[in-house]
Structure 1
Amino acid sequence: MNTQDKIFKSYKAIRSDFLYENRDQRNNFIDNLFKTHYLPHISRKKEEGILEIGCNRGYMLSALRKYGFTNVEGIDLSLEDIKMAKDMGFCAESTNVFDHLDGNRKYDVIISKDVMEHIPKDRQEEFVKRVYDALQPGGVALVQVPNMDWMFSNHERYMDFTHEIGYTRESLADMYRLYFSGDQVEVVPASYIFLNTLKQKIIFGFVRPILLKMLRLFFKILGEGACDIWFEHREILVIAKKEDLNEKNIGNL
């Protein structure tokens, strides 16, 4: 067993217990994240099959259930985290994504947050292909990863020993366009800033944009295209839609 597998096997005790000490805070964070960045893309798929790859303790599954999604399941390598998700009443299984997406299971939505960067580089393309093959026609994949253009991206890349690779908006889109049609792949910021309170609206809705404009001006003067990168976003999200050829053919009639 290699070091990564040892860490994944005991991920709860080694890392998760320290990252997610306050379950209510984590639930609130994932709820905001889901409502802001995920829900708009799948709001019409509430009765369709949804898989979360890397479901952890069931935080995203809880958000899905809260917003009316009824046919959800999750997979994760951590036996302890899967047990916690099951205790919450979710259909969850401890398994490897490559074993689970074996060609026999089909989903309308596949969600994966902060998983792809843990997969070895030589299996990145295979991961994307497995996701593509597992989607029903018209299905959508929502895959979130750390943004290597972020100002503190070195921390994101090396904060976890099991991180294998990093992505920018360009390289992430490249990977998904290997299998999804180019016009069906979009990479967007997955900001961790939510404007729920008056204080947040003032600081992040008014003050932050001014500071960002000043930084972009500084980077523009600095040159070399520095003002064009997404330095202000900690994570990015790819929305990859699998074409429904039947609908496309009907539209062409």
Structure 2
Amino acid sequence: MISSEELTAKMEPFDSFWEGPHDIEKGYGSFYKFYKHNYLKHMPEDRNARILVISCGPGYFVNMLNREGYTNVLGIDSFQEKIEHATRHGLNCETARAFEFLQENGEAFDAIFCEQELNHLTKQEILDFLGLCWNSLRKGGRLVTHGLNGANPITGSEALAQNFDHYNTFTEYTFGQMLEYSNFQDIRVYPLSLYVFWTNPLNYALIAMSALYTLFFRVSFIMYGKTNKLFTKKIGAVCQKGRG
């Protein structure tokens, strides 16, 4: 049994959501747009699929899935006060520690989404967590997760240093490498977009600037013999448990 109490992160534990805005209620609208743009297309097509959301906080991702027609979603978070916000919104969320829940839960899921960045786990803890997710998925089930992109020359090193409970960053290669090592298949690592609020005209300018930065970074990396293609602040990954 792997205990959550033994995990290295203490100030911002992995099994709770820490990225919500100060105005928690406002987050249900802003995170709905962000999650829909970046993650909805990676969710199962079956709206009755059994989905687990780990580190759900006030239930922002659960809320997005419910609004998009998913009917069998469970969110877990280790902080009771965050779960209370979710339950007031009628969301199916409960207080639980992630590692213990995955080890004790007897039913398999069609999909698992991790709302907390994997950067809050050490390398060994990440492998332990991925193994628990693999065991908790049905054959053909999928895992969707994300982390900080160490390949971004502007934010990569700062992202690691700016939080005492950040222990690593990833590139598209290392993200895929650890998922493959954990026996996942059909792995796809992709960029996460911050500029999804189309009513703000400034975002269109930021999208253009981001594209120029990406082009500049791509050429610069090629000059040093590197093949990196993703330079967004964060990168996501979707993969599947094999059917064999």
TM-score range, shorter chain: 0.7 to 0.9
- Cα distance in 2 for partners of 1:224, 1:241 equals 33
- CA distance change for structure 1 residues 214 and 175 in 2, over 3 Å: closer, same or farther? closer
CA deviation map 1:63-95 (0-9, x unaligned): 111111111111112222122222222222222
Structure 2 residue corresponding to 1:113, chosen from 112, 115, 120: 115
- Give the structure 2 partner of residue 228 of structure 1: 228
Q: TM-score normalized by structure 2? A: 0.83
Measured in 2, the distance between the counterparts of 1:148 and 1:80 equals 32
Higher relative contact order (CA 8 A, sep 6+): 2
What is the distance in 2 between the residues matched to 1:41 and 1:68?
15
- Please give the residue correspondences for 1:121-140 in structure 2 after superposition, counting only pairs within 5 Å: 121-140=123-142
Corresponding residue to 1:158 among 158, 161, 186: 161
The 10-residue stretch of structure 1 (62-71 or 34-43) with the greater mean CA deviation from structure 2: 34-43
Structure 2 distance, partners of 1:48, 1:227, is 37
Q: Per-residue displacement from partner, 1:76-117 (whole Å, max 9, x unpaired)?
A: 122221222222222222222110011623110100133322
Please name the residue that 1:95 is paired with.
96
Deviations 1:10-62 (A, max 9, x none): x89xx66xx51133542233212222221112251311111011101111111
Contact 2:176–2:188 under 8 Å retained in 1: yes
Following TM superposition, by how much is the alpha carbon of 1:228 offset from its aligned partner in structure 2, in angstroms?
A: 3.4
SS in 1 for 2:129: helix
Question: Displacement, 1:162?
Answer: 2.0
Deviations 1:211-252 (A, max 9, x none): 5435544x268x314683533x0111110112234xxxxxxx
Deviation of residue 167 (structure 1)?
1.7
Does residue 242 in structure 1 map to residue 241 in structure 2?
A: yes
- Matched ranges for 1:148-227 at <5 A: 148-150=150-152, 151-182=154-185, 184-194=186-196, 196-197=198-199, 199-200=201-202, 202-206=204-208, 208-210=210-212, 212-214=214-216, 216-217=218-219, 219=220, 223-225=223-225
Change (3 A) 1:212 1:126: closer
Gap regions ≥5 residues in structure 1: 246-253
Q: In 2, distance between residues paired with 1:228 and 1:120?
A: 23
Structure 2, unaligned runs of 5 or more: none
TM-score, structure 1 length as denominator? 0.80
Structure 2 contact 190–230 (Cα < 8 Å) conserved: no
Per the TM alignment, residue 143 of structure 1 is displaced from its structure 2 partner at its CA by 0.5
Change (3 A) 1:197 1:83: closer
For the Cα contact (< 8 Å) 2:33–2:197, is it kept in 1? no
Please state which structure has a larger fraction of its residues in helix: 1
- Structure 2 SS opposite 1:177: helix
CA distance in 2, matches of 1:215, 1:177: 27
**Contact 1:180–1:240 (Cα < 8 Å) also in 2:** no
Q: 2:117·2:148 contact (CA, 8 Å) conserved in 1? A: no
Residues 114, 146 of structure 1: 8 Å contact kept: no
SS in 2 for 1:62: helix
Distance in 2, matches of 1:210 and 1:124, equals: 33
Contact 1:195 1:204 in 2 (8 A): no
Structure 1's 86 and 107: CA in aligned 2 closer, same or farther, altered over 3 A? Answer: same
The structure with more radius of gyration: 1
User: What is the RMSD of the two structures over their aligned residues, measured on CA atoms?
Assistant: 2.9
Please tell me the residue identity of whatever aligns with 1:230: L
